[in-house]
Homo-oligomer: A and B are copies of this chain.
Amino acid sequence: MLTNRQLQILKVIVDDFILTAQPVGSRYISKKETVDYSPATIRNEMADLEEMGFLEKLHSSSGRAPSEKGYRFYVDHLLSPSTLSSREKNLIRESFGKKTLEFEQVVEKSAGILSDLTNYTSIILGPEVFETRLKQIQITPLSHEKAVAVLVTNTGHVEHRVFSTPVEIKATDLEKMVNILNERLKGVALIEVPERLNREIFSLLKEHAEHFNDAFMYLRAALANDNSAKLYVGGKTNILMQPEFKDIDRIRSIMSMIEEEKDIASLLKTSDKGIQTMIGHENPFIALQHCSIITANYYLGNQQVGTLALLGPTRMEYNRVVTLVEELSRHMTETFREWY
Protein backbone atom coordinates (compact mmCIF):
# COMPACT_ATOMS: atom_id res chain seq x y z
CA MET A 1 0.00 0.00 0.00
CA LEU A 2 1.23 3.47 -0.75
CA THR A 3 1.70 6.11 1.90
CA ASN A 4 0.17 9.51 1.49
CA ARG A 5 3.54 10.96 0.78
CA GLN A 6 4.18 8.42 -1.94
CA LEU A 7 0.82 9.16 -3.49
CA GLN A 8 1.62 12.84 -3.46
CA ILE A 9 5.01 12.35 -5.04
CA LEU A 10 3.71 9.97 -7.66
CA LYS A 11 1.01 12.43 -8.61
CA VAL A 12 3.47 15.28 -8.92
CA ILE A 13 5.75 13.22 -11.10
CA VAL A 14 2.99 12.04 -13.43
CA ASP A 15 1.45 15.49 -13.67
CA ASP A 16 4.76 17.04 -14.42
CA PHE A 17 5.94 14.45 -16.86
CA ILE A 18 2.66 14.74 -18.76
CA LEU A 19 3.28 18.43 -19.04
CA THR A 20 6.92 18.48 -19.98
CA ALA A 21 7.82 15.02 -21.30
CA GLN A 22 11.01 15.38 -19.26
CA PRO A 23 12.07 13.01 -16.49
CA VAL A 24 11.41 14.56 -13.10
CA GLY A 25 14.15 14.97 -10.48
CA SER A 26 14.00 14.99 -6.72
CA ARG A 27 15.30 18.51 -6.34
CA TYR A 28 12.65 19.82 -8.67
CA ILE A 29 9.88 18.11 -6.74
CA SER A 30 11.08 19.38 -3.38
CA LYS A 31 10.92 22.91 -4.69
CA LYS A 32 7.22 22.64 -5.44
CA GLU A 33 5.08 24.69 -3.10
CA THR A 34 2.87 21.77 -2.25
CA VAL A 35 5.81 19.61 -1.26
CA ASP A 36 7.74 20.09 1.96
CA TYR A 37 10.42 17.43 1.97
CA SER A 38 14.05 17.56 1.13
CA PRO A 39 15.36 16.10 -2.10
CA ALA A 40 16.95 13.24 -0.18
CA THR A 41 13.65 12.17 1.36
CA ILE A 42 11.99 12.35 -1.99
CA ARG A 43 14.79 10.31 -3.50
CA ASN A 44 14.11 7.60 -0.98
CA GLU A 45 10.44 7.56 -1.80
CA MET A 46 11.16 7.59 -5.49
CA ALA A 47 13.44 4.60 -5.11
CA ASP A 48 10.62 2.80 -3.33
CA LEU A 49 8.11 3.78 -5.98
CA GLU A 50 10.48 2.54 -8.65
CA GLU A 51 10.92 -0.73 -6.82
CA MET A 52 7.17 -1.13 -6.79
CA GLY A 53 7.12 -0.54 -10.53
CA PHE A 54 5.36 2.78 -10.69
CA LEU A 55 8.34 4.74 -11.93
CA GLU A 56 11.28 4.11 -14.19
CA LYS A 57 14.54 5.75 -15.09
CA LEU A 58 15.75 6.30 -18.63
CA HIS A 59 19.32 5.86 -17.43
CA SER A 60 21.00 5.59 -14.09
CA SER A 61 21.30 9.28 -13.42
CA SER A 62 18.17 10.63 -14.98
CA GLY A 63 15.06 11.70 -13.17
CA ARG A 64 12.04 9.43 -13.02
CA ALA A 65 9.25 9.00 -15.51
CA PRO A 66 6.01 7.13 -14.87
CA SER A 67 5.88 3.53 -16.01
CA GLU A 68 2.73 2.15 -17.58
CA LYS A 69 1.82 0.77 -14.19
CA GLY A 70 2.34 4.27 -12.85
CA TYR A 71 -0.04 5.75 -15.38
CA ARG A 72 -2.53 3.02 -14.66
CA PHE A 73 -2.45 3.79 -10.94
CA TYR A 74 -2.68 7.48 -11.66
CA VAL A 75 -5.73 7.01 -13.85
CA ASP A 76 -7.41 4.64 -11.42
CA HIS A 77 -6.73 6.47 -8.17
CA LEU A 78 -5.24 9.91 -8.59
CA LEU A 79 -7.36 11.46 -11.28
CA SER A 80 -8.85 14.69 -10.05
CA PRO A 81 -11.93 15.16 -12.22
CA SER A 82 -11.29 18.41 -13.99
CA THR A 83 -13.98 20.77 -15.15
CA LEU A 84 -14.02 22.00 -18.69
CA SER A 85 -12.60 25.39 -19.40
CA SER A 86 -15.00 27.98 -20.69
CA ARG A 87 -13.32 27.82 -24.05
CA GLU A 88 -13.95 24.12 -24.26
CA LYS A 89 -17.51 24.49 -23.09
CA ASN A 90 -18.17 27.19 -25.63
CA LEU A 91 -16.73 25.26 -28.51
CA ILE A 92 -18.81 22.23 -27.69
CA ARG A 93 -22.00 24.12 -27.07
CA GLU A 94 -21.54 26.07 -30.25
CA SER A 95 -21.05 22.98 -32.35
CA PHE A 96 -23.95 21.07 -30.93
CA GLY A 97 -26.10 24.14 -30.91
CA LYS A 98 -26.33 24.24 -34.67
CA LYS A 99 -28.99 22.00 -36.02
CA THR A 100 -26.85 19.80 -38.17
CA LEU A 101 -29.34 17.28 -39.25
CA GLU A 102 -27.12 14.60 -40.65
CA PHE A 103 -25.79 11.92 -38.43
CA GLU A 104 -22.50 11.90 -40.26
CA GLN A 105 -22.08 15.61 -39.92
CA VAL A 106 -22.53 15.42 -36.17
CA VAL A 107 -20.02 12.65 -35.87
CA GLU A 108 -17.51 14.32 -38.13
CA LYS A 109 -17.84 17.55 -36.25
CA SER A 110 -17.42 15.78 -32.93
CA ALA A 111 -14.24 14.16 -34.16
CA GLY A 112 -13.04 17.58 -35.19
CA ILE A 113 -13.79 19.18 -31.85
CA LEU A 114 -12.20 16.38 -29.91
CA SER A 115 -8.96 16.47 -31.84
CA ASP A 116 -8.83 20.24 -31.85
CA LEU A 117 -9.33 20.54 -28.13
CA THR A 118 -6.86 17.84 -27.22
CA ASN A 119 -4.24 17.91 -29.94
CA TYR A 120 -4.51 14.17 -30.09
CA THR A 121 -6.11 12.03 -32.75
CA SER A 122 -9.79 11.31 -32.38
CA ILE A 123 -11.43 8.26 -33.82
CA ILE A 124 -15.14 7.71 -33.85
CA LEU A 125 -16.64 4.40 -34.79
CA GLY A 126 -20.03 4.80 -36.41
CA PRO A 127 -22.82 2.50 -35.29
CA GLU A 128 -23.29 -0.78 -37.05
CA VAL A 129 -25.08 0.31 -40.16
CA PHE A 130 -26.37 -3.14 -40.72
CA GLU A 131 -28.36 -3.19 -37.56
CA THR A 132 -30.41 -0.22 -38.61
CA ARG A 133 -33.75 -1.00 -40.17
CA LEU A 134 -34.79 -0.52 -43.72
CA LYS A 135 -37.23 2.31 -44.21
CA GLN A 136 -37.51 2.37 -47.94
CA ILE A 137 -35.88 0.86 -50.96
CA GLN A 138 -35.83 2.46 -54.34
CA ILE A 139 -34.40 1.35 -57.65
CA THR A 140 -33.49 3.84 -60.30
CA PRO A 141 -32.45 2.64 -63.77
CA LEU A 142 -29.40 4.45 -65.01
CA SER A 143 -28.90 3.07 -68.46
CA HIS A 144 -30.30 0.06 -70.26
CA GLU A 145 -27.94 -2.22 -68.39
CA LYS A 146 -27.52 -0.65 -65.02
CA ALA A 147 -29.54 0.50 -62.11
CA VAL A 148 -28.87 1.84 -58.67
CA ALA A 149 -30.61 0.56 -55.57
CA VAL A 150 -30.99 3.06 -52.75
CA LEU A 151 -31.70 1.90 -49.24
CA VAL A 152 -32.88 4.39 -46.65
CA THR A 153 -32.78 3.25 -43.04
CA ASN A 154 -34.61 4.44 -39.98
CA THR A 155 -31.58 6.46 -38.87
CA GLY A 156 -31.55 8.46 -42.06
CA HIS A 157 -28.57 6.56 -43.31
CA VAL A 158 -28.51 5.97 -47.03
CA GLU A 159 -26.77 3.09 -48.74
CA HIS A 160 -26.62 2.71 -52.45
CA ARG A 161 -25.44 -0.03 -54.78
CA VAL A 162 -25.12 -0.07 -58.51
CA PHE A 163 -25.98 -3.35 -60.16
CA SER A 164 -26.43 -4.82 -63.61
CA THR A 165 -29.85 -5.36 -65.05
CA PRO A 166 -30.94 -7.47 -67.96
CA VAL A 167 -31.94 -5.33 -70.85
CA GLU A 168 -35.51 -6.55 -71.05
CA ILE A 169 -36.83 -5.14 -67.82
CA LYS A 170 -39.72 -2.78 -68.22
CA ALA A 171 -40.51 0.24 -66.08
CA THR A 172 -43.80 -1.21 -64.91
CA ASP A 173 -42.15 -4.49 -63.99
CA LEU A 174 -39.49 -2.69 -62.09
CA GLU A 175 -42.10 -0.80 -60.18
CA LYS A 176 -43.80 -4.02 -59.28
CA MET A 177 -40.54 -5.44 -58.06
CA VAL A 178 -39.80 -2.41 -55.95
CA ASN A 179 -43.24 -2.56 -54.43
CA ILE A 180 -42.76 -6.14 -53.42
CA LEU A 181 -39.37 -5.38 -51.97
CA ASN A 182 -40.71 -2.50 -49.95
CA GLU A 183 -43.65 -4.45 -48.72
CA ARG A 184 -41.53 -7.32 -47.56
CA LEU A 185 -38.42 -5.60 -46.33
CA LYS A 186 -39.70 -2.54 -44.53
CA GLY A 187 -38.50 -2.62 -40.94
CA VAL A 188 -36.03 -5.41 -41.56
CA ALA A 189 -32.51 -4.92 -40.25
CA LEU A 190 -30.09 -4.30 -43.07
CA ILE A 191 -28.03 -7.23 -42.06
CA GLU A 192 -30.94 -9.54 -42.59
CA VAL A 193 -31.89 -8.20 -45.96
CA PRO A 194 -29.84 -10.66 -48.02
CA GLU A 195 -31.25 -13.63 -46.16
CA ARG A 196 -34.78 -12.39 -46.55
CA LEU A 197 -34.20 -11.92 -50.20
CA ASN A 198 -33.21 -15.51 -50.53
CA ARG A 199 -35.81 -17.01 -48.28
CA GLU A 200 -38.99 -15.18 -49.11
CA ILE A 201 -38.69 -12.81 -51.92
CA PHE A 202 -36.96 -14.82 -54.55
CA SER A 203 -39.85 -17.18 -55.01
CA LEU A 204 -42.33 -14.37 -54.77
CA LEU A 205 -40.71 -12.47 -57.57
CA LYS A 206 -40.44 -15.57 -59.66
CA GLU A 207 -44.19 -15.87 -59.69
CA HIS A 208 -44.54 -12.43 -61.09
CA ALA A 209 -42.15 -12.39 -63.94
CA GLU A 210 -39.60 -14.65 -65.50
CA HIS A 211 -36.80 -12.30 -66.32
CA PHE A 212 -36.56 -10.81 -62.91
CA ASN A 213 -34.28 -13.68 -62.26
CA ASP A 214 -31.12 -12.07 -63.53
CA ALA A 215 -31.82 -8.66 -62.13
CA PHE A 216 -32.54 -10.24 -58.82
CA MET A 217 -29.29 -12.14 -58.80
CA TYR A 218 -27.33 -9.01 -59.35
CA LEU A 219 -29.30 -7.07 -56.81
CA ARG A 220 -28.73 -9.76 -54.25
CA ALA A 221 -25.02 -9.72 -54.93
CA ALA A 222 -24.99 -5.96 -54.65
CA LEU A 223 -26.72 -6.05 -51.30
CA ALA A 224 -24.45 -8.64 -49.78
CA ASN A 225 -23.34 -6.60 -46.82
CA ASP A 226 -19.76 -5.58 -46.39
CA ASN A 227 -20.45 -5.03 -42.75
CA SER A 228 -17.83 -2.40 -42.23
CA ALA A 229 -18.63 0.18 -39.62
CA LYS A 230 -17.24 3.48 -40.67
CA LEU A 231 -14.39 5.22 -38.90
CA TYR A 232 -14.35 8.97 -38.58
CA VAL A 233 -10.90 10.26 -37.80
CA GLY A 234 -9.98 13.76 -36.74
CA GLY A 235 -6.58 15.33 -36.31
CA LYS A 236 -4.52 12.66 -38.00
CA THR A 237 -1.54 14.94 -38.09
CA ASN A 238 -1.69 15.72 -34.39
CA ILE A 239 0.45 12.71 -33.58
CA LEU A 240 3.27 14.39 -35.41
CA MET A 241 3.43 17.09 -32.79
CA GLN A 242 4.09 14.82 -29.85
CA PRO A 243 7.76 14.74 -28.95
CA GLU A 244 7.68 10.99 -28.29
CA PHE A 245 6.81 10.46 -31.91
CA LYS A 246 9.70 12.18 -33.56
CA ASP A 247 10.77 8.79 -34.81
CA ILE A 248 9.47 8.34 -38.34
CA ASP A 249 9.08 4.60 -38.08
CA ARG A 250 6.83 4.86 -35.10
CA ILE A 251 4.68 7.40 -36.84
CA ARG A 252 4.48 5.27 -39.91
CA SER A 253 3.27 2.21 -38.10
CA ILE A 254 0.67 4.20 -36.19
CA MET A 255 -0.54 6.02 -39.25
CA SER A 256 -0.77 2.91 -41.38
CA MET A 257 -2.77 1.34 -38.64
CA ILE A 258 -5.25 4.19 -38.57
CA GLU A 259 -5.33 4.14 -42.35
CA GLU A 260 -6.07 0.42 -42.40
CA GLU A 261 -9.13 0.97 -40.22
CA LYS A 262 -9.68 -2.74 -39.79
CA ASP A 263 -7.71 -3.31 -36.60
CA ILE A 264 -8.71 -0.07 -34.97
CA ALA A 265 -12.35 -0.73 -35.74
CA SER A 266 -12.26 -4.16 -34.17
CA LEU A 267 -10.44 -2.76 -31.17
CA LEU A 268 -13.10 -0.13 -30.63
CA LYS A 269 -15.88 -2.55 -31.34
CA THR A 270 -14.80 -4.89 -28.60
CA SER A 271 -14.01 -2.21 -26.04
CA ASP A 272 -16.03 -2.32 -22.86
CA LYS A 273 -18.83 0.11 -22.19
CA GLY A 274 -18.41 3.34 -20.30
CA ILE A 275 -15.20 5.30 -20.16
CA GLN A 276 -12.24 3.04 -20.73
CA THR A 277 -8.56 3.73 -20.88
CA MET A 278 -5.97 1.52 -22.49
CA ILE A 279 -2.47 2.46 -21.55
CA GLY A 280 0.53 1.41 -23.61
CA HIS A 281 0.77 -2.34 -23.89
CA GLU A 282 -2.72 -2.80 -22.55
CA ASN A 283 -3.83 -2.65 -26.15
CA PRO A 284 -2.93 -5.63 -28.29
CA PHE A 285 -1.06 -3.87 -31.09
CA ILE A 286 2.68 -3.33 -31.16
CA ALA A 287 2.23 -0.25 -33.28
CA LEU A 288 0.31 1.35 -30.45
CA GLN A 289 2.57 0.28 -27.62
CA HIS A 290 3.52 3.86 -26.83
CA CYS A 291 -0.02 5.12 -27.13
CA SER A 292 -2.96 5.39 -24.84
CA ILE A 293 -6.52 5.11 -25.99
CA ILE A 294 -9.52 6.48 -24.20
CA THR A 295 -12.90 5.23 -25.31
CA ALA A 296 -16.48 6.09 -24.49
CA ASN A 297 -19.77 5.05 -26.01
CA TYR A 298 -22.55 7.05 -27.46
CA TYR A 299 -26.02 5.90 -28.27
CA LEU A 300 -28.54 6.38 -31.02
CA GLY A 301 -31.86 6.06 -29.35
CA ASN A 302 -31.90 2.92 -27.32
CA GLN A 303 -29.88 0.20 -28.87
CA GLN A 304 -27.56 1.52 -31.52
CA VAL A 305 -24.11 2.00 -30.07
CA GLY A 306 -21.05 3.71 -31.39
CA THR A 307 -17.69 4.31 -29.81
CA LEU A 308 -15.59 7.41 -29.70
CA ALA A 309 -11.92 7.19 -28.93
CA LEU A 310 -8.96 9.41 -28.42
CA LEU A 311 -5.51 8.26 -29.37
CA GLY A 312 -2.45 9.91 -27.90
CA PRO A 313 0.88 9.10 -26.33
CA THR A 314 0.89 7.25 -23.02
CA ARG A 315 1.93 10.61 -21.66
CA MET A 316 -1.57 11.89 -22.12
CA GLU A 317 -3.38 14.63 -20.30
CA TYR A 318 -5.66 12.06 -18.75
CA ASN A 319 -7.70 14.22 -16.44
CA ARG A 320 -8.58 16.85 -18.99
CA VAL A 321 -9.10 14.35 -21.72
CA VAL A 322 -11.26 11.94 -19.79
CA THR A 323 -13.79 14.57 -18.87
CA LEU A 324 -13.73 15.87 -22.41
CA VAL A 325 -14.41 12.49 -23.94
CA GLU A 326 -17.13 11.84 -21.42
CA GLU A 327 -18.76 15.18 -22.02
CA LEU A 328 -18.67 14.78 -25.75
CA SER A 329 -20.13 11.31 -25.73
CA ARG A 330 -22.94 12.64 -23.56
CA HIS A 331 -23.59 15.46 -25.97
CA MET A 332 -23.67 13.10 -28.90
CA THR A 333 -26.05 10.73 -27.18
CA GLU A 334 -28.30 13.61 -26.26
CA THR A 335 -28.31 15.02 -29.74
CA PHE A 336 -29.22 11.68 -31.19
CA ARG A 337 -31.86 11.04 -28.57
CA GLU A 338 -33.81 13.98 -29.87
CA TRP A 339 -33.84 12.38 -33.27
CA TYR A 340 -34.87 8.82 -32.80
Contact = CB atoms under 8 A, between A and B. Distances in A.
Interface stretch (A20-28, A64-72, A236-244, A261-269): A236-244
B146 A339 contact: yes
Contacts of A138: 136, 138, 150, 152
A150 B143 CA distance: 19
Nearest to A142: B156
B148 A152 contact: yes
A150 B158 contact: yes
Interface of A: 99, 101-103, 135-136, 138, 140, 142-143, 146, 148, 150, 152, 154-156, 158, 160-164, 222, 236-237, 240-241, 246, 248, 251-252, 255-256, 259, 339-340
A136 B174 CA distance: 14
The number of times this chain is found in the oligomer is 2
Given A101-B161, A143-B340, A237-B259, 20 more contacts: A99-B164, A101-B164, A102-B161, A102-B162, A135-B140, A136-B140, A138-B138, A138-B150, A143-B339, A148-B156, A148-B158, A152-B160, A156-B162, A236-B259, A237-B256, A241-B252, A246-B248, A248-B248, A248-B251, A251-B251
A246 B150 CA distance: 46
Contacts of A163: 101
Among A161, A236, A248: residue with most chain B CB under 10 A: A248
A154 B237 CA distance: 37
Given A101-B146, A240-B251, A259-B237, A158 B160 contact: yes
Contacts of A251: 240, 248, 251
A158 B156 contact: no
The 8 nearest A-B residue pairs measured at CB: A158-B160, A101-B162, A140-B152, A136-B140, A240-B252, A237-B255, A156-B162, A148-B156
A150 B237 CA distance: 34
Nearest to A252: B240
A327 to B, nearest CB: 25
Contacts of A161: 101-102
22 contacts: A101-B146, A101-B162, A101-B163, A101-B222, A102-B161, A138-B138, A140-B152, A142-B154, A143-B339, A143-B340, A152-B160, A156-B160, A156-B162, A158-B158, A158-B160, A237-B259, A240-B251, A241-B252, A246-B248, A248-B248, A248-B251, A251-B251
